[in-house]
Structure 1
Amino acid sequence: MYSITKPKAAQLLTTSAFSLGLIASLVFYPSASQAGKNDAGVPAELQGEWRYGRISSIQYQDSYTGRPAAPNGSSDQFQLASNGNYQRNRLLQITTYNCESNLFIQEKGKVKIEGQRLTFQPSDSTSKGQICNSGRTYSSRNSAKAETYEWSIETNESGQQVLLLATPDGKGLAHYGRPQ
């Protein structure tokens, strides 16, 4: 049986450990050039690497063993080159009591920019996942579909650029930052 706990020190440690694990699990590519001819219509301010990540503040712990379960979280990292090529890595991990599921998607392709609308058009993708610790795994090739977002860039209170990607229906919004 698992119980829900939220000790501050454990949250910080778990959040830091998950962040490091997440970063280590993603495949990173050399930075996309922000110089050169922009023949694909990719604005200079969009070129380069962007990252998004979120981890749940709730930590599950086995009440018998005291061992913590992996936290819930998601991450999206992509790079846009001036020629319109992109590479993208996404991870979703969901943990509820003794059920841990995850999905990792790696893709590359072309990005299409029309005004404030950005569309990822994958040409090659790999998806892998696990369902509820059961040993049931999922793997597929080239199953990623085109995704369209409304984009804008803002400057946060720390003076850093933030890329906002909103779903066309207005129900989803993610804030991406530059790697530090």
Structure 2
Amino acid sequence: MMKSIKNQQLNSMPKAVRLFAASALSFSLSASLIFYPNASQAGKNDAGVPTELQGEWRYGRISSIQYQDSYTGQPAAPNGSSDQFQLAANGNYQRRRLIQITTYNCASNLFIEETGKVKVEAGLLTFQPNDSTSKGQICNSGRTYSSRNTAKPEAYQWSIETNEYGQQVLLLETTDGQGKAHYGRPQ
């Protein structure tokens, strides 16, 4: 029954909103604002999580285009997305993601919160959720939805690179090579 509710909700969203949400959930966005990380440390712990991956990482993107209601003069909410997660030494993780899409007078958002274990091997970082909550709103209408435990495992190729400021960032790339995102440490 939950699946038919989701399909009805998705079908009621404008096509552009559905396409954006689907692409944003299936792979990380390639453009980002970087919160520059602290210097990392090399090494692994007993759980196999490299020391340089442990701690909090953030990614965020907000649209540079702002819409304004021509009748009321009020600005519309911006489009954007964020992803932040914390990796513990024992492999546990907490992750929170937000996607907000505004098309004309229609603002929709999706918030996903999950916990689980990460697996790190051979340059691959896999989030394996064991508890998740998804909440959202469609087009300012008060139509809200919520679901539990719908998050699926996600795998990314990972590397730590040095940016133009000499600071290290975490690069996550989808296994199909179609999406990349740069994550930084909170300041």
- Fold match (TM-score > 0.5): yes
* Secondary structure of the structure 1 residue equivalent to 2:48: coil
Partner residue in 2 for 1:19: none
Identify unmatched segments of 5+ residues in structure 1: 1-33
Q: Distance in 2 between matches of 1:115 and 1:49?
A: 22
2:119 to 97, 112, 115: 112
Q: Percent identity?
A: 85
Q: Distance in 1 between matches of 2:57 and 2:113?
A: 15
* Secondary structure of the structure 1 residue equivalent to 2:47: coil
Stretches (4+) displaced over 2 A? none
Q: Is the 8 A contact 1:77 1:88 kept in 2?
A: yes
Aligned residues: 146
- What residue identity is the alignment partner of 1:44? T
Structure with the bigger RCO (C-alpha within 8 Å, sep 6+) is 2
Query: Where do 1:76-95 residues align within 5 Å?
Result: 76-95=83-102
Deviations 1:100-148 (A, max 9, x none): 0000000010000112001000011110001111221110111111000
> Is 1:66 aligned to 2:73, yes or no?
yes
* Secondary structure of the structure 2 residue equivalent to 1:45: helix
- What residue identity is the alignment partner of 2:183? Y
* Secondary structure of the structure 1 residue equivalent to 2:78: coil
Instruction: Name the one with the larger strand percent.
Output: 1
Q: Is the 8 A contact 1:119 1:148 kept in 2?
A: yes
Q: Distance in 2 between matches of 1:144 and 1:66?
A: 39
TM-score of the two chains, using structure 2 as the length reference: 0.76
2:165 to 148, 158, 168: 158
TM-score of the two chains, using structure 1 as the length reference: 0.78
Partner residue in 2 for 1:24: none
* Secondary structure of the structure 2 residue equivalent to 1:59: coil
Q: Distance in 1 between matches of 2:166 and 2:58?
A: 17
Q: Is the 8 A contact 1:161 1:178 kept in 2?
A: no
Partner residue in 2 for 1:131: 138
Q: Distance in 1 between matches of 2:63 and 2:109?
A: 14
Q: Distance in 2 between matches of 1:138 and 1:159?
A: 43
Identify unmatched segments of 5+ residues in structure 2: 1-40
Alignment root-mean-square deviation, CA: 1.4
* Secondary structure of the structure 2 residue equivalent to 1:130: strand
> Is 1:39 aligned to 2:46, yes or no?
yes
